[in-house]
């Protein structure tokens, strides 16, 4: 068995396999134990386990069934089931714990591959993850697929909250635990949203793209949102991948030609693409529904569905004329899609319910091409000129083309296959509510029709962010431009306020005063001031040199142990894409550290007992460092600044998910206040 050299030092909970001289496997498991609130290390072999250190009273191998019932019924034992993990002889399930009654909470493992119960309250689950990393020949490949914005207007805070900040938080965490993350997206440069805008302004579609794509790149830079590639659908690679996808669907029998009637603007003398037809939504009665989708109720539409249709060009009532197109045999996927959706576990209920509802109503064949020049041309010429592949089907294929472009740029043109063809790879699609049909149904159906590619692991779509009760919308002009916020808030402060308001399960209202309040009353008061207090007291009492700890009290020990629990909890929440709960849990660590500091009052003991003061500050510095790690997916810029000032991180680009050590005798670097209080001008 080959073992990967573990990233060091490992934190939270680790299970580290090594190979001894006789080439048999020795596993050392470090597990955070919810009972002892401490880390325990065990050496595991095929049939035995030895406690190396920590104060767990026992470690026992148990039968898997017995293990489950132990955990559930007895309420005194945490169970780790390693029975299906590869690479360790025997793969023994084992249980740790001691006879202290506590409540144990079980929930299904995230995703569909593993539905066995695992405890949530301790690091055991994190231990499983590390175990996988350490035993796999390579770490888990994680595709973080992010919605492609139309390059036709500026983004606002609703977009950032809905689709762009969440994947960055998730990706940063998965990188921190050692996964191979590939986070991609790009500007959607095709389709009628671009041509509509170009027509309005008397510009070419390319002029519009040339303005907004670079603007998007500055947003990512300003907000520290780190894509591995943010490209466009206008690349040669994208065209090649889309055309090959088309040919694959054709070969597999999922595309056919047919003649249909489509709206034609007689005054303009042209067929009307979906977005050039507007009218009343047949579903909700909204008067300004577009031919492709109703912005009010989210239902995807065909232009012929609209009541009282009108041409966006001339305002006249369009007429139906026949035109030949390729059609996608989507109806063929009804049963397969329903079975797949119903087997999903851990998905957000609003995503799954919406998707299952749509498929239960029945999937119908959809036109695959459009009468539009601006787009990816068909790879076959039997329909004649003037046709392109429908922008929605083509844009989602960006999730496949962007990794290929990334791989080409790495000089390893086949590297993308690790994320797309390896069945152990995971893929997460970060999109807004209006994109659920395209990512939970249509894109998976395209993947099924293609074959040989991974279906989504999860589609953690967000609900809407509203501003003062109104839905933010590029097209409706609600919500300030992002640049307004970037002029007034530090990037991490903005990230903080958005993360605390993510619309994960419900529409969430956000306003400028609430953002400022969160920054001032939560971020500055709880976290920024804590860091400043501890660093400045270390300066005042110990000349800025980390003191050496002396006899640790029970309170010190408990505070130190809480670091591991916090990191395990935050990690588990982020992994389940419960990002809002994750940042709340990370901030709880900062609150706990404040309580520890107030209880131990080093500014008082400094008058009588410098050894005690030094120990307290040493503990507080450890708490700050681990809290900075827990906050690092959310606040990457300031977390790194804190860790650097404490000498607790090197210059490696990824902050490891572990409780770092702030070593005694380290001279702290100067650290300016992390966040400034914000005062908004009420006139603006």
Q: Which residues bind Zn ion (CB under 5 A)?
A: 281, 283-284, 286, 294, 296-297
Of 305 and 405, which CB lies nearer to Zn ion in the complex structure?
305
- Give min distance, CB of 90 to Zn ion, in A: 58
CB closer to Zn ion, 274 vs 394: 274
**Cβ of residue 557: shortest distance to Zn ion, in angstroms?**
59
State the minimum distance, in angstroms, from the CB of residue 37 to Zn ion.
Answer: 52
Rg for the chain, CA atoms, rounded: 28
> Phi and psi dihedrals of 574, rounded to 5?
-65, -40
d(CA 207, CA 226): 26
* Residue number with CB closer to Zn ion (81 or 434): 434
Q: Is 319 helix (H, G, I), strand (E, B) or coil?
A: strand
Do 13 and 127 touch, CB atoms closer than 8 A?
A: yes
Nearer to Zn ion, 90 or 282 (CB): 282
Q: Residue 297 or residue 319: which is nearer to Zn ion going by CB?
A: 297
Q: Which long-range contacts (CB under 8 A, 24 or more apart) does 446-452 make?
A: 446/245, 446/249, 446/393, 446/396, 446/397, 448/333, 448/336, 448/337, 448/340, 449/248, 449/249, 449/252, 449/254, 449/328, 449/329, 449/332, 449/333, 450/245, 450/248, 450/249, 450/252, 451/248, 451/252, 452/421
The token pair that represents 88 in the structure block: 């360790």
- Strand-pairing partners, residue 323, are 260
Residue count (the chain) = 684
Residue 33, Ramachandran bin (φ over 0: left; ψ between -120 and 50: alpha; else beta): beta
Minimum separation from the CB atom of position 306 to Zn ion (A): 10
Find the shortest distance in angstroms from Cβ 302 to Zn ion. 13
Long-range Cβ pairs for the range 60-69 (8 Å, 24+): 60/94, 60/95, 60/96, 61/92, 61/93, 61/94, 61/95, 62/93, 62/94, 62/95, 63/93, 64/93, 67/93, 67/94, 67/95, 68/116, 68/117
Assess whether the previous peptide bond of 9 is cis (omega < 30° from 0).
Answer: yes
Question: Among all chains, which residue has been given the structure tokens 């045999």?
Answer: 329
Comparison of 128 and 290: residue with beta carbon closer to Zn ion? 290
Buried b / exposed e along 216-251 (16+ C-beta atoms within 10 A): beebeeebbbbbbbbbbbbbebbbebbbebbebbee
Residue placing its CB nearer to Zn ion in the complex, 82 or 301:
301
Nearer to Zn ion, 210 or 357 (CB): 357
Q: How far is the CB of 299 from Zn ion (least distance, A)?
A: 5
Nearer Cβ to Zn ion (295/509): 295
Shortest distance, CB of residue 355 to Zn ion, whole angstroms? Answer: 18
**580 phi/psi in degrees, rounded to 5:** -70, -45
Cα–Cα distance measured from residue 504 to residue 512, given in angstroms and rounded to the nearest whole number: 20
- What is the rounded CA–CA span in Å between residue 563 and residue 567? 6
Q: CA-to-CA distance for 218 and 478, rounded, in angstroms?
A: 21
Q: How far is the CB of 472 from Zn ion (least distance, A)?
A: 18
Closer to Zn ion by CB, 296 or 532: give it.
296
The nearer residue to Zn ion, 284 or 680, going by C-beta atoms, is 284
Q: How far is the CB of 412 from Zn ion (least distance, A)?
A: 46
Q: Which residues contact 244 (CB under 8 A, 6 or more apart)?
A: 379
Beta strands in 501-609 (DSSP E): 508-510
How far apart are CB 392 and Zn ion at their closest, in Å? 17
Query: Which residue's CB is nearer to Zn ion, number 81 or number 305?
Result: 305
End-to-end, the C-alpha distance of the chain in Å comes to: 64
CB of 586 to Zn ion, least distance (A): 39
Give backbone dihedrals phi and psi of 363, rounded to 5 degrees, phi first.
Answer: -90, 140
Nearer to Zn ion, 220 or 286 (CB): 286
Least distance in angstroms from the C-beta of 280 to Zn ion: 9
Residue 171 in contact with residue 129, Cβ under 8 Å?
A: no
Give the nearer residue to Zn ion in terms of CB position, either 361 or 679.
361
CB of 295 to Zn ion, least distance (A): 8
Nearest-angstrom CA–CA distance, 566 and 589: 7
Give the nearer residue to Zn ion in terms of CB position, either 219 or 438: 438
Q: At its nearest, how many Å lie between Zn ion and the CB of residue 304? A: 15
The distance of closest approach from Cβ of residue 186 to Zn ion in the complex, given in angstroms and rounded to an integer, is 29
Q: How near is the Cβ of 148 to Zn ion at its closest, in Å? A: 23
**With the CA atoms of 393, 398, 400 and 401 taken in that order, what torsion angle do they form, in degrees rounded to the nearest 10?**
120
**DSSP state letter for 432:** B
Sorted by sequence, the CB contacts under 8 Å of residue 31 that are 6+ apart come out as 13, 15, 39, 40, 41, 42, 80, 96, 122, 123, 124, 127
Phi and psi at residue 400, in whole multiples of 5°? Answer: -95, -35
- Using the minimum distance from each CB to Zn ion, give the nearer residue, 252 or 296: 296
Alpha carbon 551 to its chain's center:
42
């Amino acid at each position: 068995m080959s073992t990967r050299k573990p990233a060091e030092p490992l934190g939270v909970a680790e299970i580290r396999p090594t190979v001894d001289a006789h080439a048999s496997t020795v596993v050392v498991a470090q597990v955070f134990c919810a009972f002892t609130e401490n880390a325990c290390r065990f050496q595991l072999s095929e049939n035995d386990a030895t406690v190396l250190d920590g104060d767990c009273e026992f470690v026992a191998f148990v039968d898997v069934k017995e293990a489950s019932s132990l955990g559930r019924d007895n309420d005194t034992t945490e169970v780790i089931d390693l029975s299906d993990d590869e690479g360790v002889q025997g793969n023994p399930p084992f249980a740790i714990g001691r006879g202290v009654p506590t409540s144990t909470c079980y929930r299904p493992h995230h995703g569909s591959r593993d539905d066995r119960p695992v405890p949530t309250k301790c690091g055991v689950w994190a231990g499983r993850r590390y175990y996988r990393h350490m035993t796999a020949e390579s770490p888990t490949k994680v595709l973080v697929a992010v919605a492609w914005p139309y390059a036709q207007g500026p983004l606002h805070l609703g977009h950032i909250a809905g689709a762009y900040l969440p994947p960055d938080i998730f990706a940063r965490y998965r990188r921190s635990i050692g996964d191979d993350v590939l986070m991609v997206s790009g500007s959607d440069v095709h389709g009628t949203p671009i041509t509509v805008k170009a027509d309005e302004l008397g510009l070419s579609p390319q002029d519009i793209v040339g303005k907004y794509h670079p603007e998007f790149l500055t947003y990512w830079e300003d907000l520290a949102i780190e894509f591995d590639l943010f490209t466009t659908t206008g690349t040669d690679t994208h065209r090649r991948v889309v055309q090959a996808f088309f040919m694959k669907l054709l070969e597999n029998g999922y595309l056919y030609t047919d003649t249909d009637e489509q709206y034609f603007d007689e005054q303009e003398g042209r067929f009307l693409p979906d977005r050039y037809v507007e009218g009343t939504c047949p579903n909700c009665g909204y008067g300004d529904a577009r031919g492709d989708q109703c912005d009010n109720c989210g239902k995807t539409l065909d232009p012929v569905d609209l009541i009282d249709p009108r041409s966006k060009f001339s305002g006249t009532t369009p007429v139906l004329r026949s035109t030949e197109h390729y059609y996608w045999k989507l109806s063929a996927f009804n049963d397969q899609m329903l079975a797949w959706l119903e087997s999903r576990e851990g998905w957000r209920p609003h995503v799954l319910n919406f998707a299952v509802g749509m498929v239960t109503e029945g999937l119908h064949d959809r036109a695959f091409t459009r009468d539009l020049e601006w787009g990816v041309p068909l790879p076959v010429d039997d329909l004649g000129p003037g046709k392109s592949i429908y922008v929605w089907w083509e844009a989602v294929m960006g999730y496949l083309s962007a990794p290929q472009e990334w791989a080409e740029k790495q000089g390893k043109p086949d590297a993308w296959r690790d994320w797309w063809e390896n069945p152990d790879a995971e893929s997460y699609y970060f999109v807004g509510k209006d994109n659920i049909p395209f990512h939970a149904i249509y894109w998976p159906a395209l993947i099924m029709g293609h074959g040989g590619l991974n279906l989504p692991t999860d589609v953690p779509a967000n609900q809407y962010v509203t501003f003062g009760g109104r839905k933010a919308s590029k097209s409706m002009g609600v919500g300030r431009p992002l640049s307004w916020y970037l002029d007034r808030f530090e990037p991490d402060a903005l990230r903080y306020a958005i993360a605390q308001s993510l619309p994960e399960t419900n529409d969430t209202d956000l306003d400028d005063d609430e953002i400022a309040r969160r920054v001032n009353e939560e971020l500055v008061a709880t976290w920024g001031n804590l860091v400043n207090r501890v660093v400045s007291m270390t300066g005042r009492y110990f000349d800025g040199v980390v003191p050496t700890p002396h006899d640790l009290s029970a309170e010190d020990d408990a505070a130190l142990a809480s670091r591991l629990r916090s990191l395990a909890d935050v990690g588990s929440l982020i992994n389940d894409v419960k990002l809002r709960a994750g940042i709340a849990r990370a901030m709880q660590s900062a609150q706990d550290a404040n309580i520890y500091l107030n209880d131990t009052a080093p500014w008082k003991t400094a008058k009588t007992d410098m050894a005690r003061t030094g120990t307290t500050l040493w503990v507080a510095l450890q708490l700050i460092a681990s809290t900075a790690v827990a906050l690092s997916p959310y606040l990457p810029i300031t977390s790194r600044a804190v860790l650097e000032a404490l000498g607790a991180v090197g210059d490696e680009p990824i902050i490891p998910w572990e409780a770092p050590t702030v070593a005694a005798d380290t001279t702290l670097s100067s650290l300016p206040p992390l966040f400034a209080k914000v005062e908004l001008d009420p006139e603006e």
